[in-house]
Amino acid sequence: MDAITDHTSMGVADAAYSRLRADILGGELLPGMKLKLDALRDRYDVSVNTLRETLSRLAADGLVEAEGQRGFTVVPATLADLIDITETRRLLECHAAKLSVERADLEWESRLVAAYHKLSKAEELVAKHGYAMIPPYDAPQIIAGQATCGLEIVEQLPDVDLVIAPVSGGGLLSGVATSIKLAAESGLAKPGVKVWGAEPELAADAKESFSTKKLVEWPAEKTTRTIGDGLRTQSLGELNFEHVLRYVDGIVTVTEDEIFAALRIYLAATKLIAEPSGAVSLAAALFHAHELPEAKKVAVVLSGGNLEPSLRERLEAEMAAGQAV
């Protein structure tokens, strides 16, 4: 359990101590930062007296410094501290890599060798032809390219109230949100238009990052549980996260059953073939309207038609048997 998540069994002072300590160690409160009691009181919803007690405990732990009548500051990080952290991280990561190699099976080794070969080949082509190597989502070129989807939406439906797009690494959502919000600022779209992301609840790293305003990463064993195999990225890209925080209004998650229901609706009511990852936006609109802003005109982004033939046959069989939603 995350250290800052649950304090129901703790006293107010203990909860404040735990939260402040976690925020200092996690970098939310930066080294050398002046800790103003009024700001901390509003942030942690505790009294000034409780804060003074908490900061005194943290001072005893060596995490903050008391400056007499001037209050408290987070202990500054020296160059020696940064070198020590870097060396510790190097030792841990090297040891983890060694254990991975020692305990890996043939399948893991094959994937590693294949990935290395692809990367080496790409670097060879870059060096030979002067190509640009562009990541799949965490790059300004990707965000700009995906932004054209948002422009098409506002060109065809300038009075759209709500746009919902799938989110995984964040390339599509950050691009769509950026273009739509900038279009609204320029008078090309409705001023109050909202943009929301949708993702499987089994791979909800983006929602957690958006809610906490801190970029988090989920382990692969969690994100790979969803049928939406295009949304199994373990974390938003750093650049994408910046755009999401600035331009996106919210992120909602959907269940696996809701994804299947949306797939059936696409098949039954339209001529569109949607893959599970592309159907999450429709699932959000259909089953989570109570979590979304009130809207008369809603646009959902269908991003992918790579539906496995066997899955399509299964869905069509269920529909024929009267199981369609």
- What would the CATH number be for the domain defined by 12-74? 1.10.10.10
Q: For the ranges 57-66, 178-187, 303-312, which has the lowest average pLDDT?
A: 303-312
Query: What was the pLDDT predicted at 325?
Result: 45
The larger pLDDT score, comparing residue 119 to residue 27, is at: 119
CA 253/CA 76 separation, integer angstroms: 39
Beta-strand ranges (E) seen in the chain are 34-35, 64-66, 72-74, 162-166, 194-200, 250-254, 298-300
C-alpha distance from residue 271 to each of 88, 263, 266, 267, 314 (Å): 56, 12, 7, 7, 17
CA 142/CA 133 separation, integer angstroms: 12
Instruction: Tell the burial category of 54 from Cβ atoms under 10 Å away from its Cβ (0-12, 13-18, 19+).
Output: buried
**Phi and psi at residue 310, in whole multiples of 5°?**
-65, -35
**Domain boundaries, given as residue ranges, for the chain:** 12-74, 79-129, 140-320
| Exposed e or buried b per residue across 166-195, where buried means at least 16 C-beta atoms within 10 angstroms of its C-beta | bbbbbbbbbbbbbbbbbbbeeeebbeebbb
Q: Which two tokens stand for residue 179?
A: 């273009």
Mean of the per-residue pLDDT values for the chain? Answer: 89
pLDDT tens, position by position, 240-264? 999 999 999 999 999 999 999 999 9
Q: Is 181 helix (H, G, I), strand (E, B) or coil?
A: helix
Q: What is the DSSP letter of 78?
A: P
Query: What was the pLDDT predicted at 323?
Result: 52
pLDDT tens, position by position, 195-230? 999 999 999 999 999 999 999 999 888 988 899 989
In this predicted structure, the answer to whether residue 8 has a pLDDT above a threshold of 70 is: no
Q: For the ranges 14-23, 69-78, 202-211, which has the lowest average pLDDT?
A: 69-78
- Of 144, 154, 166, the closest CA to residue 254 belongs to 166
Q: Say yes or no: do domains 12-74 and 140-320 share a fold.
A: no
Query: What was the pLDDT predicted at 211?
Result: 95
Q: Is 64 helix (H, G, I), strand (E, B) or coil?
A: strand
Query: What was the pLDDT predicted at 170?
Result: 96
- Of 171, 175, 179, the closest CA to residue 277 belongs to 171
Q: Which CATH architecture has domain 140-320?
A: 3-Layer(aba) Sandwich (3.40)
In this predicted structure, the answer to whether residue 5 has a pLDDT above a threshold of 50 is: no
In this predicted structure, the answer to whether residue 3 has a pLDDT above a threshold of 50 is: no
Query: What was the pLDDT predicted at 273?
Result: 87
